[in-house]
Chain A
């Protein structure tokens, strides 16, 4: 039986490893997300240390990011609303400008932007820090000292990321709604009825449920994927960059898949 060249052999081994590794890594993500959810929803888990750690993570992920992201999202929203409104008016379709703005900006664009922003800001930081602590063996040290690393370190980070995605999405959406009203109708109060009627038509029960579920899934992805990618690498210092790389790539893929899936369900 002829021997395969060594490079081909190594490639096949790498491919096989990847085929086994990738589903396993996604399973770890779902497992960690499930454990974190159960822990967060268990009142007994919320001891003072967990509350403090969670508060710190919320402060880091949401509080610090809130003003900058809200301002940036407001600017982007205003520009996009003006473009949509101007284009719709040019084509004589201004009655559809508000519906289009709400659908494109509030339901699709702002949640994705919020997820990507939290992923790049908090997700990358969480990924790096958890990777380094995993390599250093800090979690084992904490466990031996009687603390629960899951409750006092990992779940607070996840909760902070989820809350940050939801807060940034909801607040920026609210700001975008107000800006849409101002851009389309000015400061006149007489268009409130029409505005509410049109937005009410867009925000059907399925759409609202989809919007809420999407932001939750974005938050879960931003929280779970970097942590599981960090915990999956071998305890070698040179593996730290690889863990961050894997975590961020998987996070990007997850955000794209979630958004694409929702678009397909809602509009296909």
Chain B
């Protein structure tokens, strides 16, 4: 059974067909205008030439960005006789204020995506960039550093390989460490490791044993010495010892000296009285003066004797000799 939609005459069919035809033409025209506008065909532009050593990654239609905003578009890339790549960029007039004479242009190529052209303007008050200006492009991208990085890495790997080779210093060192560890785990442990062989370590152990024996005999000797010193001490300083007797003798000597001092005082008194008598008898004075000089000489000798005794014997209680 036929569908009525397809068999019945359609009202206003020609009008609908014309509308659809108009819609198609309208879409085509709108798309064309949109594409032309989107590609900047209607924009008034200023030309800028960027000279690069390598324009790899830059494509026609790519943006020149300033502070992340596109301010220009690559129109053409060509190789000039100097071997450089000339990137022709159209900058819309309204965006030329961002580009100054002192502007710097860079070409950066990341690991992902195409190359990015960037403009940097340090001084926005500088003179504006003239039309058809030619500027160099500084390169600063990740991929350019990769070869150097890989070279460095390769060098490191070569070093590691050399270090880990069978005859490398590291392996020799490890072998030495292993030998030392084996010695450490041997009979004499660290001694074998330090001295190089078990025989040497054995000698050292024997020496230590002998030193121990020597120390034991020295200890016994020191005990004996201690006892001898104790005895000498008792002999010298105990009651009734040498020192005690000496002290007693000195005390007796002191007493004798005290008696002598008393006698001298008396003699001095007598001499004083005699002087009074001699005051009248001047002739006798000279004899008495000579006598006195003799007595004083005797006293000085005695005093020197006492000082000598006191110097030689520091235990004296009273070292002062009181002269009249």
A binding-site residues for B, Cβ under 8 Å: 51-52, 54-56, 58-60, 62-64, 66, 93, 95-96, 163, 166-167, 170-171, 174, 196-197, 199-201, 203-204, 208, 212
Q: Which residues of B contact A201 (CB under 8 A)?
A: 39, 61-62
In the complex, are the beta carbons of A93 and B112 less than 8 A apart?
A: yes
CA distance A62 to B27 in the complex (A): 15
In the complex, are the beta carbons of B35 and A59 less than 8 A apart?
A: no
CA distance A200 to B6 in the complex (A): 42
Q: Which residues of A contact B21 (CB under 8 A)?
A: 58, 163
Q: Which residues of B contact A199 (CB under 8 A)?
A: 34, 38
In the complex, are the beta carbons of B24 and A54 less than 8 A apart?
A: no
Q: Nearest chain-B residue to A57 (Cβ)?
A: B17
Q: Which residues of B contact A197 (CB under 8 A)?
A: 38, 63, 70
Interface centre among B23, B24, B60 (most CB of A within 10 A): B24
List the count of A-B residue pairs having beta carbons below 8 Å apart. 75
Q: Nearest-CB distance from B108 to chain A (Å)?
A: 14
A56/B35 contact (C-beta < 8 A), A170-B24, A200-B61 known: no
CA distance A167 to B22 in the complex (A): 10
Q: Which residues of B contact A170 (CB under 8 A)?
A: 24, 27-28, 31
Q: Which residues of A contact B31 (CB under 8 A)?
A: 170, 174, 208
Q: Which B residues between 33 and 66 are near A, CB-CB below 8 angstroms?
A: 34-35, 37-40, 60-63
Q: Nearest chain-B residue to A212 (Cβ)?
A: B28
B binding-site residues for A, Cβ under 8 Å: 5-6, 10, 13-14, 16-18, 20-21, 23-24, 27-28, 30-32, 34-35, 37-40, 60-63, 70, 112-113
Q: Nearest-CB distance from B45 to chain A (Å)?
A: 14
CA distance A55 to B16 in the complex (A): 8
CA distance A54 to B28 in the complex (A): 21
In the complex, are the beta carbons of A171 and B13 less than 8 A apart?
A: no
Interface centre among A171, A174, A203, A204 (most CB of B within 10 A): A203
Q: Which of B5, B10, B17, B27 contacts A174 (CB 8 A)?
A: B27
- 10 chain-A/chain-B pairs, Cβ below 8 angstroms: A56-B13, A56-B17, A58-B17, A58-B21, A59-B16, A59-B17, A170-B28, A196-B34, A196-B37, A200-B61
In the complex, are the beta carbons of A200 and B112 less than 8 A apart?
A: no
Apart from A54-B17, A174-B27, A199-B38, what 15 extra A-B contacts exist at CB < 8 Å?
Answer: A51-B14, A55-B13, A64-B5, A96-B113, A166-B24, A170-B24, A174-B31, A197-B38, A197-B70, A199-B34, A200-B35, A200-B38, A201-B39, A203-B38, A204-B60
A55/B39 contact (C-beta < 8 A), A96-B113, A197-B70, A200-B61 known: no
